[in-house]
Amino acid sequence: MWYSVVASFSLLGLFLHVVEFTKGGITSGFVRSINYSLDMPLNSDVFRAPPGYNAPQQVHITQGDHEGRGVIVSWVTPDLPGSNTVLYWVERSENKKYAEGIVLTYKYSRYTSGYIHHCKITNLEFDTTYYYQLGLGAGYSSRTFTFTTPPSPGPDVPYTFGLMGDLGQTFDSNRTLTHYQKNPAKGQTLLFVGDLSYADDYPFHDNTRWDTWGRFTERSVAYQPWIWTAGNHELDFAPDLGEHKPFVPYTSRYHVPFEASGSTSPLWYSIKRASAYIIVLSSYSAYGKYTPQYEWLENEWPKVNRTQTPWLVVLMHSPLYNSYVHHYMEGETMRVMYEPWFVEHKVDVVFAGHVHAYERSERISNIAYNITNGICDPVRDESAPIYITIGDGGNIEGLATEMTEPQPSYSAYREASFGHGILDIKNRTHAFFSWHRNEDGYAVVADSKWLLNRYWKPSEVSPVASI
Ligand SMILES: *[C@@H]1O[C@H](CO)[C@@H](O)[C@H](O)[C@H]1NC(C)=O
Ligand SMILES: *[C@@H]1O[C@H](CO)[C@@H](O)[C@H](O)[C@H]1NC(C)=O
Ligand SMILES: *[C@@H]1O[C@H](CO)[C@@H](O)[C@H](O)[C@H]1NC(C)=O
Ligand SMILES: *[C@@H]1O[C@H](CO)[C@@H](O)[C@H](O)[C@H]1NC(C)=O
Ligand SMILES: *[C@@H]1O[C@H](CO)[C@@H](O)[C@H](O)[C@H]1NC(C)=O
Ligand SMILES: [Fe+2]
């Protein structure tokens, strides 16, 4: 079947790259520069601190409540604690309001952080552009930014999410971020699937690379929320350096609204945003039965109202379905625990990172196995999510190019290139997912798929008859 589909594309001249055929889907043979790119040097333009004494830097925002009427604003002041206050107002309005935050510092090995501020703003109007100002107080340098709140949750509210993972801070990372920002699809909020700065690749996990990452990403995340997922590079667990407690730099710098979804940990939580319900899981926290994450997730499913938020999206770092050699089967234990729930509750799509490449699965599940029955192959399952690996942000560790062969039947498309994704929700039944590889410039789609909502439009005609 694929042969004929692909052959007719080729005849039409639509198929630009070499493609291998297997029992599974498509392995793209797109050829790219083999040179790994290095981290941008410390004196790079993207790492420059803003001018002015004690000026707020590394400004970043994320959702601050469960519904989308809250924002957490975070920033770092290098010299003095300064003010924790955020001044905010609606565009063209004279009515300015204040919110009061907190300040903290942390130590890691030889490093001491700057003054890290977090301020939660609540009860904002939906679908409204706000200005916000930081670094208030006489003698300080203040900076002003904007963000736009999402529309009120509802079934047919269009909304566009960007997808990025494993970004790091190389020249490729800078290309990925630039392409995301220039993408005409205009992501309104970024879903980040873990592995942020890769500071832990440096001696002593040099945390100044957390600071450079904060300054590098500010040009997007100060203006639109990034929804954070913890990856293995957030662990910073290093007993040899005297660092016995995991996630200290990450959780000190990146606050998330976990209490709003009844979670007891910032490593797993959920939010509603426009027509989507987004569940964030932690691959690096206990998830077995009776653990806090398991019990929290069990209680999440009944809270999801598909009339209000038709699109059910799960984020995690380690993919449950991956056909690259790198990290193969690392997500298997979590798959065993959570895949039956994903199918039962008709999750639309699961995004993961970790593997430094791109891959999209068929709608499949593998939940029939019970030790003795031998039923252990993935099968096509129209209630199952599509699994998308998007760990191709462009970090210093380079691409994962080795793939398991032949391409397994669950794998629909795979390609080892850097890039980013866009999930463009149109209404309760239709969303368009596209993947944009860096080499093509910002506007070209290298892989795409119309997603039909599993709750509202469960029948999906697929070009592959059986798997
Ligand atoms: C890799 O980098 C070297 C040195 O900068 C350059 O000469 C070479 O052309 C590059 N190779 C590719 C495939 O881009
Ligand atoms: C990063 O990308 C931006 C936007 O394209 C560009 O202005 C900047 O010079 C780049 N910096 C580096 C170090 O590549
Ligand atoms: C689900 O959401 C819809 C639309 O907001 C609302 O009318 C309905 O009452 C909700 N259902 C439940 C069980 O809360
Ligand atoms: C395992 O699955 C087989 C076939 O699906 C079924 O007959 C058997 O009862 C199951 N065993 C247990 C312990 O559930
Ligand atoms: C939902 O969006 C799709 C894609 O844009 C469109 O074809 C379909 O007609 C829309 N459905 C409704 C009910 O508007
Ligand atoms: Fe990772």
pTM for the full predicted model? 0.93
At 138 the pLDDT is: 75
307 C-beta closer than 6 A to ligand 3? yes
Q: Which ligand has its closest atom nearest to the C-alpha of 48?
A: 2
User: Comparing C-alpha atoms, which of 386, 384, 366, 385 is closest to residue 376?
Assistant: 366
Q: Which atom of ligand 5 is nearest to the CA of 427?
A: 1
Look up residue 57 and give its amino acid.
Q
C-alpha dist (Å) from residue 46 to 170, 213, 216, 310: 11, 9, 5, 38
At 21 the pLDDT is: 40
Q: Which contacts of 239-244 are long-range, i.e. CB under 8 A and separated by 24 or more positions?
A: 241/108, 241/109, 241/204, 241/205, 242/109, 243/108, 243/109, 243/205
426 C-beta closer than 6 A to ligand 5? yes
Q: Which ligand has its closest atom nearest to the C-alpha of 171?
A: 2
User: Comparing C-alpha atoms, which of 202, 76, 209 is closest to residue 143?
Assistant: 76
User: Comparing C-alpha atoms, which of 138, 135, 143, 121 is closest to residue 81?
Assistant: 135
Answer yes or no: 430 catalytic. Answer: no
Omega before residue 406 within 30° of 0, cis: yes
Domains and CATH numbers, the chain: 152-194+267-459 (3.60.21.10)
Query: Which residue has the least CA distance to atom 14 on ligand 5?
Result: 427
380 C-beta closer than 6 A to ligand 5? no
Burial class (CB in 10 A: 0-12, 13-18, 19+), 237: middle
Distance in Å, CA 336 to ligand 1 centroid = 43
Tell me the two tokens of residue 9.
């594309």
Distance in Å, CA 36 to ligand 1 centroid = 10
One digit per residue, the tens of pLDDT, for the chain of length 467 reads 333 333 333 333 333 344 444 467 999 988 766 666 899 999 999 999 999 999 999 999 999 999 999 999 999 999 999 999 999 999 889 999 999 999 999 999 999 999 999 999 999 999 999 999 999 987 789 999 999 999 999 999 999 999 999 999 999 999 999 999 999 999 999 999 999 999 999 999 999 999 999 999 999 999 999 999 999 999 999 999 999 999 999 999 999 999 999 999 999 999 999 999 999 999 999 999 999 999 999 999 999 999 999 999 999 999 999 999 999 999 999 999 999 999 999 999 999 999 999 999 999 999 999 999 999 999 999 999 999 999 999 999 999 999 999 999 999 999 999 999 999 999 999 999 999 999 888 888 999 999 999 999 987 654 444 44
Distance in Å, CA 374 to ligand 4 centroid = 10
How far apart (Å, rounded) are the C-alpha atoms in residues 356 and 415? Answer: 10
The CA-CA-CA angle for residues 281, 58, 137, to 5°, reads: 125
Q: Which ligand has its closest atom nearest to the C-alpha of 317?
A: 6
33 C-beta closer than 6 A to ligand 4? no
pLDDT per residue as tens digits for the range 252-307: 999 999 999 999 999 999 999 999 999 999 999 999 999 999 999 999 999 999 99
